[in-house]
């Protein structure tokens, strides 16, 4: 005996099973949301209709704190804007204050900043690489990535005494010069690290299951990436060749020769999850290249300019942009001539990346949302501030 079952799209049609969307909570305490992020998912079985970000769980009013603690006092707080890549946040705040106050940074200090920032970029991308593999179901790459990240953290700890929130930069330069024999230790690590990036590439990038999970998933066209104001690797993976370090150069980045990786549609479409992953892998090689050039061409001289303890830049406003591991991070700072900023506003890459998820989610599987979040490399404190 055979039984015929009639499925209908409307709710409660006679003669068949009624279907309806499920509302699911993903987060805020979820291992694959990379922080306290929450998504309200509307799904028909395993297929999503909408995934709506619900942000604010990590809001700390950090911009208002800047207006209370003063120019020098806010530097440690900048580490918390993006605790996965704190050096670039230090750098942005220092550049804003220096621009307003007319402070000239010694050349050796700029080189120290670039060395620290690019080591931090490698650290951030190693975590993104390992966590993305683990989110998809491959645990081994995570252990390899964390091993290398810990070695970089050892080097950064020797440089500034911290492993996560560094507070290394100062208005006018950096807190300390490179320790004795530091350049030799970093170069020795880079000699070991670059072959391992090739090993990581072989381990994960060409894995058949990994490719099938990521290729042609959540494709972002160049036009869509620009419309949603995506930045950094997420923008470049969509084929838009733009990097502040090269196209709006700051610090001493014009001194260095490096390539900007751009999505090419290797296994699927330009702008898919796999391309966002591979762009970050290639960027680790380029950051290592920059660090090597900076160490080999390190100039002499002081590492910090003379800046008054009660630093009071003249009244004015400035807009500073730096290329963090998550892309163009913009700082708008207003001074009223006092010892505290009048207004600080920070625009981050993770916030705009979150805004595109709802548009991309329709038609994806629930498991694909995990891949999408990982590929965008969203960090919670950048979203909420």
CATH number at residue 257: 1.10.645.10
Question: Considering only CA atoms, which of 29, 23, 32, 87 is closest in space to residue 58?
Answer: 29
**Residue 246 placed within a domain:** yes
**Residue 51 placed within a domain:** no
- Structural domain count of the chain: 1
30-69: pLDDT as tens digits? 666 677 888 999 998 889 999 999 888 888 899 999 999 9
pLDDT at 364: 92
**Residue 88 placed within a domain:** yes
pLDDT at 30: 67
pTM across the whole model: 0.91
**Residue 371 placed within a domain:** yes
**Residue 229 placed within a domain:** yes
Query: DSSP string of 153-172?
Result: HHHHHHHHS-SSS---EETT
pLDDT at 2: 37
**Residue 363 placed within a domain:** yes
Ranges under pLDDT 50 in the chain: 1-14
Cβ-based burial of 357 (10 A; exposed 0-12, middle 13-18, buried ≥19):
buried
> At a CB cut-off of 8 Å and minimum separation 6, what does 222 contact?
238, 239, 240, 270, 271
Q: Tell me how far apart the alpha carbons of residues 110 and 108 are, in angstroms, rounded to a whole number.
A: 5
**Residue 247 placed within a domain:** yes
- Domain that includes residue 90, residue range: 62-384
Question: Considering only CA atoms, which of 188, 184, 375, 201 is closest in space to residue 285?
Answer: 201
pLDDT at 57: 86
Q: Tell me how far apart the alpha carbons of residues 265 and 275 are, in angstroms, rounded to a whole number.
A: 7
Cβ neighbours around 77 below 10 Å, total: 18
pLDDT at 15: 52
């Amino acid at each position: 005996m055979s039984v015929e079952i009639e499925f209908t799209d409307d709710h409660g049609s006679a003669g068949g099973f009624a279907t309806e969307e499920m509302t699911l909570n993903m987060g805020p305490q979820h291992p694959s949301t990379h922080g306290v992020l929450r998504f309200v998912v509307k799904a028909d079985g395993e297929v999503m209709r909408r995934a709506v970000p619900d942000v604010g769980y990590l809001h700390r009013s950090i911009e208002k704190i800047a207006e209370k603690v003063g120019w020098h006092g806010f530097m440690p707080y900048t580490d918390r804007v993006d605790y996965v890549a704190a050096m670039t946040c230090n750098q942005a705040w220092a550049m804003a204050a220096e621009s307003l106050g007319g402070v000239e940074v010694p050349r050796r200090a700029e080189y120290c900043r670039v060395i620290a920032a690019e080591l931090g970029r490698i650290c951030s991308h190693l975590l993104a690489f390992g966590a993305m593999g683990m989110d998809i179901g491959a645990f081994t790459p995570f252990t390899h990535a964390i091993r290398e990240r810990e070695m970089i953290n050892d080097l950064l700890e020797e440089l500034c005494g911290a492993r996560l929130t560094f507070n290394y930069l100062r208005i006018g330069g950096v807190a300390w010069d490179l320790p004795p024999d530091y350049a030799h230790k970093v170069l020795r690590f880079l000699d070991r690290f670059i072959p391992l990036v090739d090993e990581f590439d072989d381990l994960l990038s060409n894995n058949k299951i990994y490719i099938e999970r990521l290729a042609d998933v959540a494709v972002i066209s160049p036009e869509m990436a620009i419309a949603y104001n995506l930045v950094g690797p997420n923008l470049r993976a969509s084929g838009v060749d733009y990097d502040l370090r090269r196209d709006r150069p700051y610090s001493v980045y014009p001194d260095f020769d490096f390539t900007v990786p751009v999505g090419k549609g290797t296994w699927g479409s330009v702008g898919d999850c796999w391309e966002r992953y591979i762009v970050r892998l290639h960027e680790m090689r380029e950051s290592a290249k920059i660090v090597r050039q900076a160490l080999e061409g390190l100039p002499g001289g002081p590492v910090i300019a003379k800046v008054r303890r009660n630093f009071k830049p003249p009244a004015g406003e400035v807009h500073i942009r730096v290329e963090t591991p998550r892309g163009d991070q913009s700082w708008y700072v207003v001074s009223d001539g006092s010892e505290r900023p009048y207004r600080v506003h920070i625009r981050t890459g993770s916030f705009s990346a979150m805004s595109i998820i709802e548009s991309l989610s329709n038609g994806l599987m629930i498991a694909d949302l995990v891949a999408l979040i990982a590929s965008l490399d969203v960090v919670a404190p950048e979203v909420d501030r």
